[in-house]
Amino acid sequence: MTAPALAVRGVSVRYGGLRAVSNVSLEVPDGKIVGLIGPNGAGKTTLVDAIAGFVACDGRVEIAGQDVTRLKPHARVRRGLGRTWQAVELFDDLSVAENVAVAIGTPSPWATVKELFIKPTLDKARVGGVLDSVGIGHLFEAMPTELSEGQRKLVGIARAFAGSPRVVCLDEPAAGLDTSETRALGLQLRGLTSGGTSMLLIDHDIGFVFGTCDHVVVVEFGEVIAEGPPHEIYANERVIEAYLGSSALRTNDPGGPS
């Protein structure tokens, strides 16, 4: 049996007296999209920070079967981990293509400093391909200041996929996108899995998560309260009570991945 692209085993994170993430375990198999949902403050971003190495945690994080729990963030990127941030930071003086180009190449602890001083060399075909994969190939030469919030978001997603990662954590990629952009993003993410890329997908848009993911994990107060395929989570009374509110699901059947 091959190791999953990402495994989180008994991970806990404390902020002072607060247990933001409590003994969470989950796996993201190769080429699959696993959704992570839960109310505001449930610990979703904190879990991604622990996976990416931005906060210390108890427990174990594995990428493709290798323990990365003690590695710095850039070393985890080198092992094949990509991520997006809830708030997108782009270099406003670089074009969209250059913003993606800086994310290609070997990450190092000095990458951020270097990026400030050195214009990235542009592999046009590769950058164009990455932009196309999230549906913004036409924005190749645009400057970030000319973009809508949704388009900035998509550039952030393109950056996460630029280094051909094995697994990507997407923190609310659909926030700021309109309905048709969200639907298109779901299809594009499904398309990216055909190359073997795996994803952990966080979003508050339940229709988007259920329609895009193979498997869904629900967290509340830092703990996993349910997990399973979308149609099971959709029907899970505890999830409906604890998170979604009975009207949210019953009036808006999101369907499942096709």
Question: Which residues contribute to the site for Mg ion (CB under 5 A)?
Answer: 44-45
Q: State the binding string over 74-103 for ligand ATP (x if CB under 6 A, else -).
A: ------------x-----------------
Decide if residue 17 touches ligand ATP (CB under 6 A).
no
d(C-alpha 50, C-alpha 73), whole Å: 10
Which C-beta is closer to ligand ATP: that of 98 or that of 172?
172
Give strand pairing partners of 198. Answer: 167
Q: How far is the CB of 169 from ligand ATP (least distance, A)?
A: 12
Which C-beta is closer to ligand ATP: that of 6 or that of 64?
6
CA angle 249, 230, 211 (to 5 degrees): 80
Q: How far is the CB of 191 from ligand ATP (least distance, A)?
A: 26
Which C-beta is closer to ligand ATP: that of 9 or that of 19?
19
Which of 45, 69, 197, 198 binds ligand ATP (CB under 6 A)? It is 45
CB 214 within 8 Å of CB 229: yes
d(C-alpha 251, C-alpha 206), whole Å: 12
Decide if residue 40 touches ligand ATP (CB under 6 A).
yes
Decide if residue 213 touches ligand ATP (CB under 6 A).
no
Which C-beta is closer to ligand ATP: that of 161 or that of 243?
243
Residue matched to tokens 């108890």: 58
Using CB distances below 5 to 8 A depending on partner kind, what does residue 251 bind out of Mg ion, ligand ATP, none?
none
User: In terms of C-beta distances under 8 Å and separation of at least 24 residues, what long-range contacts does 185-193 make, across chains too?
Assistant: 185/134, 185/135, 185/154, 185/157, 186/211, 186/212, 188/133, 188/134, 188/135, 189/33, 190/33, 190/257, 191/133, 192/133, 192/161, 193/31, 193/32, 193/33
CB 139 within 8 Å of CB 155: yes
Q: How far is the CB of 40 from ligand ATP (least distance, A)?
A: 3
Give one word for 38, left, alpha or beta, with left for phi > 0 and alpha for psi -120 to 50.
left
Which of 28, 34, 35, 38 binds ligand ATP (CB under 6 A)? It is 38
Residue matched to tokens 């092992």: 79
d(C-alpha 31, C-alpha 250), whole Å: 30
Q: How many CB atoms lie within 10 A of CB 118?
A: 9
Using CB distances below 5 to 8 A depending on partner kind, what does residue 212 bind out of Mg ion, ligand ATP, none?
none
Which C-beta is closer to ligand ATP: that of 12 or that of 133?
12
Decide if residue 12 touches ligand ATP (CB under 6 A).
no
Stretch of 33-41, 68-76, 158-166, 187-195 contacting ligand ATP, by CB under 6 A: 33-41
Contacting positions for ligand ATP (CB under 6 A): 15, 18, 20, 38, 40-46, 86
